[in-house]
Homo-oligomer: A and B are copies of this chain.
Amino acid sequence: MNIGEVAERSGIPPKTIRYYEDIGLVRPQRSGNGYRAFREMDVHKLAFLGRARALGFSIEDCRTLLSLYEDESRESAQVKAIAEEHLTAIDEKITQLQSMRETLSHLIKSCHGDHRPDCPILSDLAGDPTVVRTVSSLANKAAK
């Protein structure tokens, strides 16, 4: 199976599949003409990766999850631990985004948004505490 068909069947673009090979996530064989020759197993692996990535797992997490998947003597606790850690990270991101959302929507509501230059959004960003004063209550670091 060539890369194009694999891409279609796994939902992973060719460029990304090559990248995954580069970093050792899949190891397709090669045909005589130098083309990658994928087996069913590879398609399966790539679809696994696609789903794990869609859940937001990092590439390194995906690598670990794949190896656990292939390890018959794994303990489900190992998998669960990774998932729980990731869930915690997701929750933190959500919390941070909601805090930004909160502040930003307040600011937007307070801005009349017309042809005049007066703007509480800019005033707040400039540090003027008389307007809404909520941004500085945010953690200093934005989402990475």
Contacts and interface: CB of A to CB of B under 8 A. Distances in A.
Interface residues of A, number: 64
Contacts of A119: 68, 74, 76, 79-80
Most chain B beta-carbon contacts within 10 A, residue among A44, A65, A80, A127: A80
A114 B55 contact: no
A90 B83 contact: no
A97 B97 contact: yes
A126 B48 contact: yes
Most chain B beta-carbon contacts within 10 A, residue among A68, A76, A86, A114: A76
Contacts of A93: 97
A76 B114 contact: yes
A104 B86 contact: yes
Given A94-B94, A100-B56, A75 B140 contact: no
